[in-house]
Amino acid sequence: MPGQSLGLIETVGLAAAVEAADAAMKSAHVTLVGYELTQGGGMVTVKLAGEVGAVNAAVAAGVMAARKVGTVFAHKVIARTAQYLESMIYSTETTGMTPAKSTFTTQKDPQSIPVVNVEATPAPYSCMDFQEEVKKEEEAPVIVNKSQKSRRGNRRK
């Protein structure tokens, strides 16, 4: 975490916090550190980490989205956090923290059912097919009316 930026969005209510986190994560390449509930007042703080520009964009999008749902109490972006702030950011009160090391192993479910696409896939077309159709249309002979030919030839110069 040292050297990365930290984004904080403090909202009143969990619904506004979830909306802020959702919009922030969708708008920029940031990591959701987690959320922290305050002691009373119903305030929730969403914590985001990433590069300075991405965190700025994510916090701005999160604040805009949260204001549509509830109340945003405060928001702040701290560029390049200090080395010793890690214990405060990753505190025990932070819920939904991104684990530093993944301890989970993926196991295949023995009773899973494979999904098969039963719809017919359309035949692949290329741009060359389209060009051949255009050439065929261009090669069709143009029939000129004889009366039009004679009129053109009788014009004065």
What percent of the chain lies above the pLDDT cut of 70?
60
15-50 b/e (C-beta count within 10 Å ≥ 16 → b): ebbbbbbbbbbebbebbbbbbbeeeeeebbbbbbbb
Condensed to tens digits (0 to 9), the pLDDT of residues 18-54 reads: 999 999 999 999 999 989 888 878 899 999 999 999 9
- Whether 68 maps to a domain, the answer reads yes
The pTM score is 0.59
Residue 125: pLDDT over 90? no
Query: Is 108 a domain residue?
Result: no
Total structural domains within the chain: 1
Query: What string of DSSP letters covers 82-137?
Result: -GGGHHHHT-TTEESPPPSS--------TTPPPP---SPPPPP--HHHHHHHHHHH
Residue with tokens 């030919």: 149
77 lies in some domain: yes
Is there a domain that residue 31 lies in?
yes
**Mean of pLDDT values over 94-114:** 56
The confidence band for 140, taking pLDDT boundaries of 50, 70 and 90, is low
Question: With 60 as the cut, is the pLDDT of residue 68 above it?
Answer: yes
132 is a domain residue: no
Domain extent, residue 86, equals 5-95
pLDDT-based confidence at 149, cuts 50/70/90? Answer: low
CB 68 within 8 A of CB 7: no
- Encoded tokens for 31: 């990591």
> What is d(CA 18, CA 39) in angstroms, rounded to the nearest whole number?
18
Quick check: is 149 in a domain? Answer: no
Q: Domain for residue 19, yes or no?
A: yes
What count of other Cβ atoms lies within 10 Å of the Cβ of residue 94?
17
Residue 55 lies in a domain: yes
User: Tell me, what CATH number does 19's domain have?
Assistant: 3.30.70.1710
